[in-house]
Structure formats: structure tokens, C-alpha cells
Amino acid sequence: MTSSDVQAQRAKHGVFFAIAAYTIWGVAPIYFKSISHVPAMEVLAHRIFWSFGLVFLLLLATKKLNRVVAAFRSPKQLMVLGLATVLIGFNWFLFIWAVANDFILDASLGYYINPLLNVAIGMLFFGERLRKLQIIAVAMAAAGVFIQVITFGSVPWIALTLAASFATYGALRKKLPFDSMTGLWLEVMLLLPVMLIYFTWFTGSATSNLLLNSWQLNLLLVMAGVVTTVPLLCFTAAAQRLRYSTLGFFQYIGPSLMFLLAVFVYGEPFLADKAVTFVIIWAALALYSYDALKTHRQTRAAARALRTSAENTHGNTPTQAR
């Protein structure tokens, strides 16, 4: 098998892992709906508890615990990770609460807005230069939100908060050297004491005592760790096999599945205010994706031309020497 065959095989596996990751994230509302009678903070606590144990076992199995030890040698990086952890913990809580309270459409909108917000953050805080179509796409997204606020008097606060918290979390994590698995374990480790205090002293729901729950409910609560960890591992595997620009085209699977679940399975009303905002955001994302695809093709064409030129130059060298 040639190196190009190996790369093609890795790319196929990468596509599979990318589809798996974003599909699991997209259908996650089904899981959280099934335990919507459990308080959102309690579900978050279970998400932390079981992720902590599962990821720890994975770190042991892959012999990556040394990376965790190395992380504690940099208190400054841990402080930045602590801030990122607060953001992702809040993001998880709000998503769980939104699903349980029939705001899946708002959650879907938030994750549609997220890639455009990432572009804006890259420009504002990382000095990244935006192409013209990217600027137009971001402006369209902002216009969609403003139209909803001005025309209909409703602020899509759940969508905006989910998008802002996740985009800011991503920007902070971009500055840190931790791989996905190590970073996730450090995050749940930092959240673990808070969740233990909450679970010990502040929870008083009927589902808080696992000994009184049915085994089916307890199994669902334990699955919170799997729902958190498996898509992240699939995403990491995809990122290792695909170009990041290619991976970006799969990110709309998640919010699209959420949208379909909200409208056609859970019957959330798709009213005029949401419809206008969604249509504008979809148009902005279409423009953004077109620009990304065009740039990707131009980059590949330029790389091919450079490689061909180098091969021709190399092939002509002996003749010129003679």
C-alpha cells in the first residue's frame, strides 16, 4: 500500500469519526430529554462525576497521565484553564436546562452562530485577517439577531449565551497546550469539588439518592459520562486525520439535527421571529462555507502548482548540469 493509499484510508476514517462526533452531539437532546425530570444542575453533576472516572481510565489505558502531571507545573496555564472550565461548565448547564425546558431550537441557533462568532473572535483577539465574504457573513449574522430584537422585541439570549460561552471557551483553550483528553479530564477535575459540594449539601430532589432510583434511571445518569466523552474522542480522532478546514464542514450536522428534533419530534413552535433569524443565519453560513471551500481549493491548487514546479525544476537539473 502506497503512502497516498494510506492517507486516503486515514481520510476515510477521519470522515467517519467526524460524522460520528457531530451526529452524537446533534442527537444529544434525545438523551437529555429522557432525564428532563432530573434537575439540570444534578444532571451536570452526574456528567462531571462519570466523565471524571471514564476519562481517568482512558488516560491510564493510553499512558497519558504524565501529561496531567506536567500540567500542574504551570500554574498560569491552570488559571487560564480554570476560566475556560467555568465557561464550559456553564455552557453544559445551560444546554441541559434548555433541552429540558423546550428550547432546543434556541440551542440549535446558538451552535449555528458559533462558527461565525469564532471568526469574529479570531479577528478581534488573535489578529486574524478576515476575507471580504467572511466579514459579510459575520455582519449578516449580527443583522439577523438585531432584526429579531428590533422587529419582534425578543432577544435570543439562550442562543447568544451558548454561542458566546462556547466560542470564548474555544478561544481560551486555543492558547493552552493540552490535548483534548487531558484538557477534558483537568476540566472535570476542577469542577468535581463544586459538584460534590452541591450534591452533598444542596440537592434535595427525588432523584438525588441513587439507592432509591430505578436501575434504568441510574444507568441513564451514568451514561452522562459516555455522552460527554465519546463524541470528544471521535472529534479528536477526526482532527488527527483530516485538515481542520475540511473538518469544519461537518460542524453543521449537530445544530441541523437539533433543529429537526426540535421542530419534527418535540414540536417546538417555529415562529416568525425565529424563522427570520434562522434564515439569515443559514444564508450567512452558506456564504461562509462557500468562501471556505473556495479558499481551500485555491490553497490546494497553489500547493499542487508549487509541487509540480519543484518536480520539473528537479527533473531539469541534471540536463542543465550537462
pLDDT in tens, 106-135: 999 999 998 888 888 888 877 778 788 888
CA distance 30 to 26: 9
Neighbours of 148 (CB within 10 A): 23
Q: Are 218 and 35 in contact (CB under 8 A)?
A: no
Say whether pLDDT at 214 is over 60.
Answer: yes
Q: Where are the domains of the chain?
A: 13-202+214-309
Please state the pTM of the whole predicted model. 0.87
Alpha helix ranges (H) inside 153-214? 157-174, 180-197
Mean pLDDT score across all residues of the chain: 88
Phi-psi region of 74 (alpha: psi -120 to 50; beta: other; left: phi over 0): beta
Residues 6+ positions from 311 with CB-CB distance below 8 Å: none
The sign of the torsion formed by the CA atoms of 103, 109, 112, 113 equals negative
pLDDT-based confidence at residue 36 (cuts at 50, 70, 90): very high
Say whether pLDDT at 314 is over 80.
Answer: no
| C-alpha grid cell, residue 307 | 509541487
CA distance 268 to 259: 10
The pLDDT value recorded for residue 126 is 73
What value, to the nearest 5°, has the Cα angle with vertex 139 and ends 135 and 142? 145
CA distance 116 to 114: 5
pLDDT-based confidence at residue 322 (cuts at 50, 70, 90): very low
Cα 58 from chain centroid? Answer: 20
The pLDDT value recorded for residue 147 is 87
CA distance 7 to 10: 5
pLDDT in tens, 272-313: 888 999 999 999 999 988 888 888 788 778 777 877 877 777
CA distance 168 to 87: 8
The pLDDT value recorded for residue 24 is 96
CA distance 235 to 22: 8
Cell 486525520, residue located: 241
Q: Are 281 and 141 in contact (CB under 8 A)?
A: yes
The pLDDT value recorded for residue 5 is 67
- DSSP category for residue 152: H
Percentage of residues of the chain with pLDDT beyond 70: 95
Q: Mean pLDDT, to the nearest integer, of 229-236?
A: 88
Q: Are 72 and 212 in contact (CB under 8 A)?
A: no
CA distance 258 to 141: 19
Helix, strand or coil, per DSSP, at residue 222: helix
Q: Mean pLDDT, to the nearest integer, of 96-104?
A: 96
- DSSP category for residue 206: T
Interior/surface letters 55-87, b for 16+ CB within 10 angstroms, e for the rest: beeebeeeeeeebbeebeeeeebbeebeebbbb
Residues 6+ positions from 175 with CB-CB distance below 8 Å: 80
pLDDT-based confidence at residue 319 (cuts at 50, 70, 90): very low
CA distance 4 to 313: 23
Looking at per-residue pLDDT, the higher value among 208 and 313 belongs to 208
Cα 196 from chain centroid? Answer: 26
| C-alpha grid cell, residue 118 | 469564532
Least Cα distance to 261 among 87, 4, 11, 32 occurs for 32
